[in-house]
Structure 1
Amino acid sequence: MNRINDALSLKILPLSTGKEMGNFHLDDEIYPLYMPEGGITELVHCMDKVHELSRNLGCKGVGKAAAIELGVKLTKKYGSGEDELFHRGLGHAKTKSEREDVAKAVAEWADGDSIAAHYGFGMDLFCSEDFGKSSKKASVLDEDHRRWLKSDFDIDFVTLIDLARMLTE
């Protein structure tokens, strides 16, 4: 909570991600969200772009797709036999290894949503020190996906050092 409040004190507002079932959202009555200058019309355009990139990430098997795949797998392994949403499946993790896999899948989901939100709202840069190397699987932040996101969506990835250089040059 301190990091959120620190960011808000610097007038850094959170971006909205796709409003779909299974996603978690900040309450905009508690935490103000960034609103584009063009009001609701521009917000709808931004959200269309957020969803566009999210769908493309899903086709590549990264971002939220990693959490969906794991949730379905855990539901098949431990579920009651009834259909359920993938995020319920994530809650079925029983072993330490499965819980670690869930944590990695949720982090991958968050990375994908964050990149999609930046793209949707027309942000020129995506700043991250994460290069997707901690997972054995493909990651939205790995070198191949960064290259694809640059070539197909013109997303520039930078580190904090890169940003500092940009501000001082």
Structure 2
Amino acid sequence: MKEKNEQIQQDVWKSEIDSTVGIQEPDLEGGGLLAVTIHEGNNLKAKHSFVIMRVGYDIKRTWTMRNNQNPVWKETFKFAVKKPAKAVLRLVVCSSSWIKKSEVLGDVDISVADVVQEKHMNIYNIGNSRIHVELQWVGMPVKTKPKVLHFMTLDIGPHRLSR
């Protein structure tokens, strides 16, 4: 009988430890903050370039870097996201010109749910052109401090990519 009680206690103790260790499922229903850092571009086809970002109706853009096919932006933008399960981050790399309209060099859509769930992201890279982007998700759980759930770096190419 004593051995059985000890075994039960060990099983309970082990299950308590196992329940506290490991990765918890991310909350796709709760809101949070998506931080997007546009670091730099390499071998862009245009000398005057900028990046536009959009999540829902919230649109932001980097400064235009002139006379440089390897621009360094190092700009961070934050998007409040209420429902990450359905949200999409759209990145558009554009060229600027005094003579003609801005031209799209490349774009990509990234599911915010994939960022929250820390799923593997493809590297978006076509030829020699790319931009270095860093994504960070900060969930906002109730009655606790914000917790960094994900930190990622990816490259996107200058052309629209299909998955």
Q: Shared fold by TM > 0.5?
A: no
Query: Shorter-chain-normalised TM-score: which range?
Result: under 0.3
* TM-score, structure 1 as length reference: 0.26
Greater per-residue strand proportion: 2
- Greater CA radius of gyration, 1 or 2? 2
* TM-score, structure 2 as length reference: 0.27
